[in-house]
């Protein structure tokens, strides 16, 4: 299959490229290096050093006889997207190329605007390029479980049957996001759903939980490492907790720590995306997949990091709750459904404690870089 990965230089895009090349797909990739630049903008860097795209391409040529055919550019630029689709004529496009940090989007109006513009316009441009040039290609778009928020009822996969004043219908499940970033993903989902309805585009909209991990089965040496962010803007809670444990800092859940979210390992994320590509939707179908393995509260994550770090590395990390910079429920019901991927043949391999041992080993290896980045871990970006 000829696959174009938008955001191929990113945390998920790069290991996905490795997996698809190994499986014999023809892989094309695009990136503007937005994340590399924006992480530096907040005084941070990937904790795990990553190679330049040129080095990555050369490395793949040596390890496999195939590599990523790379195009540098901004996918919110319509003429760039049109050129890619025209030249490559992909069977499928995986769209990962978005600003993906909730705190970054909450810094101020400028950052909220960049998030909205880049994210919504990139998806809209891709939709139009598909309609005008290749209407039968499959768009696999990464949304987020965060689009749904934390309702006090079960979260279905995209749609639910509702009865109101004696009448029934199947409707999109309400989205209730908690940052400008998450709202930008909601707007993307609405736009994809509408494009499917009016033009019959084939879309998989993946509502993905928080991805953790430093490795997949394909990442064998340092040339293949993917980025791993630990700062308050770009690093997710589990990444920050691991860095705090290794750096001798307290592990800091925000607020009461009862916030619960769906999580999945990087390995499982790549497996799911590969299944989604290799088992595409029917022509003209809009399908929503909820993708996570387990849900954990932030307190459970903090305790598990502390436990694994103590058992495997003899460390003694303290847990210290800090004021929550975000506006969110700190104790709530959470029960999302994730059935469709399992029906498509997926079974999760992630095991948090086992995976944490690998993550902490990789973070330990770059302990000196943890020391350098310590100053950017504690929260500064306020929602209020
Ligand atoms: N990592 C997670 O836990 C997670 C969870 C849910 C959803 N997602 C979604 O998955 C996607 C990928 O996430 P990630 O963690 O790999 O993020 P990432 O920031 O590491 O990767 C995104 C890549 O896209 C590139 N990019 C961003 N905007 C671009 C643009 N306008 N033009 C060209 N390239 C651009 C970046 O430079 C980066 O290489 C994002 O859309 C994110 O919202 C991620």
Q: Per-residue pLDDT tens for 185-196?
A: 999 999 999 999
Candidate from 34, 42, 139 with most ligand 1 atoms within 8 A of CB, to mutate? 34
At residue 127, the pLDDT reads 98
In a domain, 211, yes or no: yes
CATH number (domain holding residue 15): 3.40.50.720
In a domain, 383, yes or no: no
Report pLDDT digits (tens) over 331-346: 999 999 999 999 999 9
Give which of 83, 68, 1 is closest to 279, Cα–Cα: 1
Candidate from 100, 186, 204, 230 with most ligand 1 atoms within 8 A of CB, to mutate? 100
Residue 185 is among the residues annotated as catalytic for this protein: yes
Residue 317 Cα to ligand 1 midpoint, Å, equals 31
Closest residue by CA, ligand 1 atom 5: 210
Catalytic option among 35, 115, 123, 144: 144
Q: What is the mean pLDDT of residues 72-86?
A: 98
Q: What is the mean pLDDT of residues 319-335?
A: 97
What pTM value is reported for the model?
0.98
Residue 316 Cα to ligand 1 midpoint, Å, equals 34
Residue 67 is among the residues annotated as catalytic for this protein: no
CB contact set of 230 (below 8 Å; sequence gap of 6+):
44, 47, 239, 240, 242, 243, 363, 370, 373, 376, 377
In a domain, 229, yes or no: yes
Q: How many domains does the chain have?
A: 1
Give which of 67, 78, 71 is closest to 6, Cα–Cα: 71
Whether the pLDDT of residue 221 is over 90: the answer is no
Catalytic option among 28, 181, 296, 309: 181
Report pLDDT digits (tens) over 140-173: 999 999 999 999 999 999 999 999 999 999 999 9
Report pLDDT digits (tens) over 5-36: 999 999 999 999 999 999 999 999 999 999 99
Asked whether the beta carbons of 184 and 105 are under 8 A apart, the reply is yes
Residue 374 is among the residues annotated as catalytic for this protein: no
At residue 369, the pLDDT reads 97
Give which of 180, 206, 182, 181 is closest to 192, Cα–Cα: 206
In a domain, 239, yes or no: yes
In a domain, 382, yes or no: no
Asked whether the beta carbons of 166 and 175 are under 8 A apart, the reply is no
Q: Residue 38 is part of which domain span?
A: 2-376
Q: What ranges make up the beta strands (E) of 222-348?
A: 260-265, 286-291, 294-297
Give the sign of the dihedral formed by CA 185, CA 190, CA 191, CA 196. Answer: positive
Report pLDDT digits (tens) over 277-286: 999 999 999 9
């Amino acid at each position: 299959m000829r696959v174009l990965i938008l955001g191929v230089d990113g945390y998920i895009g790069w290991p996905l490229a490795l997996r698809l090349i190994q499986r014999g797909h023809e892989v094309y990739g695009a990136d503007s290096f937005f994340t590399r630049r924006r992480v530096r903008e907040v005084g941070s860097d990937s904790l795990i050093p990553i190679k330049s795209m040129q080095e990555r391409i050369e490395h793949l040529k040596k390890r496999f006889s195939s590599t990523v055919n790379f195009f540098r550019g901004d996918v919110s630029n319509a003429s760039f997207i049109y050129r890619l689709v025209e030249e490559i004529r992909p069977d499928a496009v995986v769209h990962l190329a978005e600003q993906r940090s909730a705190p970054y989007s909450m810094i101020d109006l400028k950052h909220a605007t960049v998030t909205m513009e880049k994210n919504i316009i990139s998806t809209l441009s891709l939709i139009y390029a598909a309609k005008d040039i290749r209407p039968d290609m499959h768009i696999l778009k990464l949304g987020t479980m965060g689009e749904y928020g934390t309702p006090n009822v079960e979260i279905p996969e995209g749609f639910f049957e509702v009865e109101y004043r004696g009448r029934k219908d199947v409707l999109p499940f309400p989205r209730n996001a908690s940052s400008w970033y998450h709202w930008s993903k909601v707007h993307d989902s609405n736009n994809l759903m509408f494009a499917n309805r009016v033009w019959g585009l084939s879309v998989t909209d993946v509502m993905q939980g928080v991805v953790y991990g430093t490795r997949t089965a394909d990442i064998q040496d340092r040339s293949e490492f993917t980025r791993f962010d630990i700062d308050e803007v770009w690093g997710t809670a589990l990444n920050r907790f691991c860095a705090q444990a290794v750096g001798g800092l307290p592990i800091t859940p925000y607020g009461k720590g009862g916030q619960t979210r769906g999580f999945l390992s990087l390995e499982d994320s790549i497996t799911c995306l590969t299944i989604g590509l290799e088992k595409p939707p029917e022509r003209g179908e809009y399908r929503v997949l909820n993708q996570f393995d387990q849900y954990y509260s932030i307190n459970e994550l903090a305790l598990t990091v502390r436990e694994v770090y103590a058992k495997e590395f003899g460390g003694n990390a303290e847990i210290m709750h800090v004021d929550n910079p975000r506006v969110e429920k700190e104790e709530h019901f959470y029960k999302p459904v994730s059935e469709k991927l399992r029906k498509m043949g997926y079974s999760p391999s992630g095991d948090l404690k086992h995976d944490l041992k690998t993550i902490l080993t990789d973070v330990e290896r770059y302990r000196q870089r943890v020391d350098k980045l310590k100053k950017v871990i504690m929260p500064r970006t306020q929602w209020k």
